[in-house]
Structure 1
Amino acid sequence: MSLATPTATPAGGERESTALKFGVMLYPDGALLDLPRQFRWLEDLGFDQVVVPDHSADLRDRTRPWFDGWSILPLAATATERIRIGTLVSNPILRPPATLARQALTVDHLSGGRLDLGIGAGLFDWDHHAVGEEPWSPKERAGRFADYVAILDGILRGRGEPFTHAGKWLQARDVATVPGSVQRPRPTLMTGGQSPTVLRVTAERADVWNTIGPMIDDGDEILAVTARQNAKLDELCLAAGRDPKSLRRSFTPFGPFDFWHRNVSLEEIVERFSAIGMTEFVFELPPQDRMSEFEHLATEVIPSLRRSVG
């Protein structure tokens, strides 16, 4: 494990890189003890990032076996040396912000500073029901997200001084901030979502924005909406006093762009979305009978795509 002290891209700082990056979403639904091998395998294939979701059950089929994403990230940290690890995205329904901050600091240290901390606004009713509460209204979800990210950002940037946040929806008082994070000024912060509040908070605080686009079956409209949201993020960054180029943009192929199940290629997705400013792509593993195609994609297709924009 590398113990070098990397530097995360601070909100408002210079963008880490405009080179294409590729990550994999690994669902914690398989044999638990096989996960370290899978993490090493993805690292050996040359991927930049591996992320896990954060839900109370499998969002595709809640009757299937499911493990906790944050509990397996220490396995990823100790099983790998280079690949960045994280969540896409952490779930505010399930985790109070100070608890998540402590988990993030732990994994940041275990990984030698390779954590990408993805945060969402919390969406599914069944996650709310799992913790014994009623689903939030859109207004409450938006307000909670802004407070949640502010608390996380503040704790993770701390260097020993207690942190306090008095928000409308969430509060934190005298939260300990030791030890500090390995990454400076804090672990990479990635937000997921498309609401006006998510976009505003992203521009103010995040290093990376991830989107699946609107949940429709029209690829051209998904591309157009994502382009408009990217342009809006540029405006919001400028309003927040930061260079829009300091905010990296990440796309997760979904719906008509799910290239394992639709008639579309990764090359086409990268060509179309990189043209509107997306430089990072995170996708799921294919069905088991297409793993040879996945390895070809990792060892031949992705290197070629990197060279084409290098």
Structure 2
Amino acid sequence: MIGRRFGVMLYPDQPVGVLVERARWLEGLGFDQIYLPDHSGDLRDRRRTWHDSWLVLAAIALATTRVRIGTMVANQILRPPAQLARQAMTLDHLSAGRLDLGIGAGLFGWDHHSVGEDPWAPKERMRRFADYVSITEGLLRADELMFSYAGEVLWVKDVATAPGCVQTPRPPIILGGQSPTVLRTAAAFAQGWNTHGPPGASDEETLRATTTQNRKLDALAAAAGRDPAAIRRGYTIFGPWDPRWGRHSYEEVFDRFGGIGVSDFVLDWPGEAHQEEFERVALEVIPPLRE
């Protein structure tokens, strides 16, 4: 049986020193992972403070010793795949092999506008995503000095791969999203898949959709010649299942989603109003579930 893991989504919306202290606090509470999102601004209010998540992760890597760190999820809109691979490789070294690399297809039009592009149509975003993950994965895994790839949309030629990653054959890749392309690509390459449910769905609709997608991922992995159990399933606790909404407890979330095959849970940063409950869950509820 796959053991459960519990992470936290940390937002780069505070001074960097504050974010580092929050990361140390989360590590002290025993969380397994700390993730940062990857956008050009705060999706909750883009006028607010927002630091670069990759640089914040570098600071956290140097300030912690045990907790795994990563993106949930790296955004294909904002950087070419070779740059993403280079950043991931460097962070893997800075953290002494504690990187989990989440990758997503990107969504928001304002992320496109930040790099001077019109938003891609959904079909175009998915066409790019399969190549994007293939290039990133290939660069991180490569055992040759130079790497080339020619895909349907994206290509690279003679990209240097030294010094390689600390983790072998490369850091774990977690793909975030719900589209058929994301699931197919996860079945081919990923060590994890993460979802927060369909936008606007109710609690039970989210649970049913995640159940269906889990089963689809099982079938796709088997068709690709992989053991479905080798792909961890994750749920980021947003929306109607968020205990801060007052309808569900963390215990219920862990039980209901664990029952459909989810092993990895990402809790949202609690804020001051919910810190006491968050600490209780970290210290009392989660440790027995890992066992």
TM-score (norm 2): 0.98
> Secondary structure of 2:244's match?
coil
Match in the other structure for 1:71: 55
Query: Counterpart in 2 of 1:56?
Result: 40
Q: Map Cα deviations across residues 131-176 of structure 1 (whole Å, 9 max, x no partner).
A: 1100011111011000000000000001243111111211100111
- In structure 2, give the amino acid aligned to 1:33: G
Partner in structure 2 of residue 222 of structure 1: 206
2: CA distance between counterparts of 1:287 and 1:258?
13
- Aligned partners of 2:238 and 2:268 also within 8 Å: no
Deviation sequence 1:226-256 (CA, Å, 0-9, x none): 1110000000001100100000000011211
Distance 1:46 1:160 in 2: 38
Runs of 4+ in 1 over 3 A off after TM superposition: none
Aligned to 1:142: 126
Mapped contact 2:217–2:228 kept (Cα < 8 A): yes
CA distance in 1, matches of 2:281, 2:188: 35
Match in the other structure for 1:208: 192
The partner residue of 1:177 within 143, 148, 161 is 161
1:31 aligns with 2:15: yes
Query: RMSD across aligned C-alpha pairs, in angstroms?
Result: 1.0
Please give the alpha-carbon distance, in whole angstroms, between the structure 1 residues aligned to 2:168 and 2:146: 18
Separation of aligned partners in 1, 2:269 and 2:284: 16
Aligned to 2:175, which of 163, 172, 191?
191
Name which structure has the greater RCO, CA cutoff 8 Å, separation 6+.
1
Aligned residue pair count? 291
Structure 2, unpaired ranges of 5+: none
Instruction: Name the amino acid aligned to 2:187.
Output: A
Q: Is the 8 A contact 1:251 1:282 kept in 2?
A: yes
* C-alpha contact (below 8 Å) 1:165/1:172 kept by paired residues: yes
Task: Provide the secondary structure at the position in 1 that maps to 2:157.
Answer: strand
Identity over the aligned pairs, expressed in percent? 57
The corresponding residue for 1:118 is 102
Is the 8 Å Cα contact of residues 267 and 305 (structure 1) preserved in structure 2?
Answer: no
**Consecutive unaligned residues in structure 1, runs of 5 or more:** 1-16
Residue 260 of structure 1: SS of its match in structure 2? helix
TM-score (norm 1): 0.92
Matched residue, 1:167 = 151
